């Protein structure tokens, strides 16, 4: 299983629009991706309700995990999206 720890770059955290972007990007990987707060339980990163339920704030660290072929590359793209607080999905997601 591949993992990345990343600090959330969106000032508002993983709420509303940023969460929607993150969930869409996670779904686009085609892999089972999870996200967790520091010591918390991991949730399905392809579920908007699960991601919103984490209550992640801007500047908090989260852990992204994925399994399967291409997991390392997929997590690199997701980590960049989260860390940079991008406002649109990159075309390479």
Instruction: Reply yes or no on whether 15 is catalytic.
Output: yes
The tokens of 1 are what? 């299983």
Catalytic residue among 15, 24, 77, 80: 15
- Provide CB contacts within 8 A for 49, sequence distance 6+: none
CA distance linking residue 23 with residue 40, whole number of Å: 19
Strand, coil or helix: 69: coil
Q: How far apart are the first and last CA of the chain?
A: 20
The tokens of 62 are what? 């989260």
Active site residues: 15
């Amino acid at each position: 299983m591949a993992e990345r720890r990343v600090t959330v770059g969106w000032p508002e955290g993983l709420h509303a629009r940023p969460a929607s972007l993150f969930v869409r990007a996670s779904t686009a990987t085609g892999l089972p991706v999870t996200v967790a707060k520091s010591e918390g339980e991991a949730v399905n990163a392809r579920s908007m309700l699960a991601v919103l339920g984490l209550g992640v704030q801007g500047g908090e660290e989260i852990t992204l995990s994925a399994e399967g072929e291409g997991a390392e590359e997929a997590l690199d793209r997701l980590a960049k999206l989260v860390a940079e607080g991008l406002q649109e999905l990159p075309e390479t997601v």
